[in-house]
Amino acid sequence: MSTFVLIHGAWHGAWCWRKVSSRLEKLGHAVIAPDLAGLGADDTPLAHVSLQLWTQQVCRILDSQAEPVMLVGHSRGGIVISEVAEQRPDKIRELVYLTAFLVRNGECLFDLAQQDLSSLVPANMVMSPDKLFSTMREESLRDAFYGQCSAEDVALAHELVRPEPTVPLATPLRLTQENFGRVPRVYVQCLRDRAIPPALQQQMYTATPCRVLCLDTDHSPFFSAPDELTAHLHALTR
């Protein structure tokens, strides 16, 4: 069995993985799903949050593991797992981009996020006056992230989403072929995603080639299709 390290996306926390974590554990896998600094239950001031801080946080988790892990990043979590792969390529068995930002060397997340005008996210992001963080308009959450999710899951998300620090999203990634480039990559494309639309997902995994799997889901398959997502993740370990 394998160890999965699950990295949540923007505005979210470890809470979003609860259904998938329990299913993977029932299959015999170990699961680590941290709250990134400043999000979930973590109380790090947003002014102190950087992409480097998140990367160091995840690197410490990988350093504590005896064997390479399956490193999964959802949405904005993609930039985190890419940076971790650059720093710890030998500690990763496979990178899994779950409808995630797969950014090339020298690019930042904002470079890609603004390219697809059909995304519901940019128009519904509300930036703080000091540009330190952003929130999403509450009335947009279901349509943007949880279109196929239950009312219970949407209510939980409304309660638990937190402001997203801006600095990591504007930080260019520094990736090399020697490190990041040699780690196996899988992209899980979500075909009904309205946050990172399928065309943008395809653009990213074409520019940085991956093995591609598909789910006929919204942006949040950890809620809307946990059985199917778990089956994909489990199959990758065989």
Work out the average pLDDT over 112-125. Answer: 92
CATH second-level architecture of 3-236? Answer: 3-Layer(aba) Sandwich (3.40)
> Model's pTM, two decimal places?
0.98
Q: Give the model's pLDDT for residue 25.
A: 98
pLDDT confidence bin for 118, thresholds 50/70/90:
very high
Report the chain's C-alpha Rg in angstroms: 16
Q: Which residues of 47-73 are buried (b: 16+ CB within 10 A; e: fewer)?
A: eebebebbbebbeebbeeeeebbbbbb
How large is the greatest C-alpha to C-alpha distance in the chain, in angstroms?
Answer: 49
Q: What is the mean pLDDT of residues 68-95?
A: 98
Q: Residues 71-86: what's their mean pLDDT?
A: 98
Catalytic positions: 75, 193, 219
Mean pLDDT of 182-204: 98
Domain ranges of the chain: 3-236
* Average of per-residue pLDDT values in the chain: 97
**Is residue 115 very low, low, confident or very high in pLDDT (cuts 50, 70, 90)?**
confident
Condensed to tens digits (0 to 9), the pLDDT of residues 154-165 reads: 999 999 999 999
Query: pLDDT tens digit string along 1-49?
Result: 999 999 999 999 999 999 999 999 999 999 999 999 999 999 999 999 9
Q: How confident is the model at residue 116 (pLDDT cuts 50, 70, 90)?
A: confident
The per-residue pLDDT for 114 is 84
Q: Is the dihedral of CA 165, 166, 169, 170 positive or negative?
A: negative
Residue range 151-180: mean pLDDT, rounded: 98
Strand partners, 190: 215
- 125 phi and psi, to 5 degrees? -80, 135
